[in-house]
Amino acid sequence: MGLIKKVPVYIEKFPGGGILTTSLDYVLSQSRASSLWYLLFGTACCAIELMATGASRYDFDRLGMIFRASPRQSDLIIAAGTITKKMSPRLRLLYDQMSQPRYVIAMGGCTVKGGPFYYDSYSVEKGIDHIVPVDVYIPGCPPRPESLLEGCLTLQKKIKKEKIADWS
């Protein structure tokens, strides 16, 4: 019986075949991290970089990132752009409509902390973590596609460490 490097996968070989044993936690976390379907939530200029990341040059799909237009089919919200106070209840509603476990990436200075609207704006949220829990923050105005890819890889690493008992 052998352990493949540091992952909890054991292989017992027999003539003509073998048995592979592992934990359900491991299979589910690997699968989930490798197929993150994200809800489009672009509200301003950062969304242009999000769209560029999804196009052929950066090819988001190779990370298993597929965009969806419905929260019911999404594991992740990538909030990209300025979030106004009027928009906040919609963001929360969409988040609540996603099944668990669910994740949020705050892309760009506006979603992280209000960005250029931090001062002297009565209408912009000063960070979306007042509305929904955020898993990964990506600074920048706007962040480049490479930053978004790095943020998604960071989220994938986090998900791979999760256990079923963490889902709530």
Q: Which residues bind ligand SF4 (CB under 6 A)?
A: 44-46, 81-82, 108-110, 115-116, 141-142
- Identify which of residues 36 and 115 has a Cβ nearer to ligand SF4 in the complex: 115
Length of the chain, in residues = 168
The owner of tokens 């292989």 is: 11
Q: How far is the CB of 51 from ligand SF4 (least distance, A)?
A: 13
Q: For residues 146 and 19, is the Cβ–Cβ distance under 8 A?
A: no
* Cβ at position 86, least distance to ligand SF4 in Å: 16
List, as one string, the DSSP characters of 90-127: HHHHHHHHSPSS-EEEEESHHHHH-GGGSSS-SSB-S-
Q: How far is the CB of 85 from ligand SF4 (least distance, A)?
A: 15
Least separation in angstroms between residue 130's CB and ligand SF4 is: 16
Q: Which is nearer to ligand SF4, 44 or 51 (CB)?
A: 44
Query: Which ranges of the chain would DSSP assign to H, the alpha helix?
Result: 24-33, 46-54, 88-97, 109-113, 145-160
Decide whether 46 or 134 has the Cβ nearer to ligand SF4: 46
**Residue number with CB closer to ligand SF4 (116 or 133):** 116
97 contacts 71 by C-beta, under 8 angstroms: yes
